Amino acid sequence: MRGLTPAAADRLRRLVLPGLAFKAVVIGGGYATGRELAEFFLPAGPWGGVLAMLLATLIWSVVAAATFRFAHAIGARDYRTFFQALLGRGWVAFEAAYALFIIVVLAVFGAAAGAIGTAVFGLHPLIGTLALLVGIVACVAWGNRSVERVFLWVSVLLYATYAAFLVLALTEIGGRIGAAFADGAPLGAGWALGGVTYAGYNIVGAVIVLPVTRHFRSGRDAVIAGALAGPLAMLPALLFLVCMAAFLPEIAGAVLPSDFMLVRLGHPIFHLLFQLMIFAALLESGTGAVHAVNERIARGRGQVRLGPVARALLTLALLAPCMLLADRVGLVGLIAGGYRLLAVLLIAIYVVPLLVATLFRRGHAEHRIPQNLPGEPRG
> Do the domain assignments include residue 273?
yes
Task: Supply the pTM of this predicted model.
Answer: 0.81
Instruction: For residue 338, give every residue at least 6 positions away whose Cβ sits within 8 Å of its Cβ, in sequence order, or none.
Output: 100, 104, 107, 108
144-182 vs 125-140: helix crossing angle, rounded to 10: 130
> Do the domain assignments include residue 366?
no
Q: Do the Cβ atoms of 244 and 251 come closer than 8 Å?
A: yes
> Do the domain assignments include residue 341?
yes
> Do the domain assignments include residue 76?
yes
The total domain count for the chain is: 1
> Do the domain assignments include residue 5?
no
> Do the domain assignments include residue 244?
yes
CATH number of the domain that residue 204 is part of:
1.20.1740.10
* Full domain range(s) for residue 43: 14-355
Q: Which residues of 150-170 are buried (b: 16+ CB within 10 A; e: fewer)?
A: bbbebbeebbebbeebbebbe
Instruction: For residue 51, give every residue at least 6 positions away whose Cβ sits within 8 Å of its Cβ, in sequence order, or none.
Output: 44, 187, 191, 192, 195
Which of 227, 233, 163 is closest to 198 using CA atoms? 233
Instruction: For residue 169, give every residue at least 6 positions away whose Cβ sits within 8 Å of its Cβ, in sequence order, or none.
Output: 177, 242, 243, 246, 261, 265
> Do the domain assignments include residue 376?
no
**Tens place of pLDDT per residue across the chain (379 aa):** 666 788 888 899 999 999 998 998 888 656 777 888 888 898 888 999 999 999 999 999 999 999 999 999 999 988 889 999 999 988 888 888 888 878 777 877 887 788 888 877 888 888 888 898 899 998 888 877 888 888 888 888 888 998 898 899 889 999 999 998 887 666 666 889 989 989 988 888 899 899 899 899 999 999 999 999 999 999 989 988 999 999 988 898 887 788 889 888 888 889 888 888 888 888 888 888 888 888 878 776 555 567 888 888 888 888 888 766 655 655 555 555 566 777 888 889 999 999 998 887 654 444 454 444 444 444 4
> Do the domain assignments include residue 88?
yes
Neighbours of 56 (CB within 10 A): 27
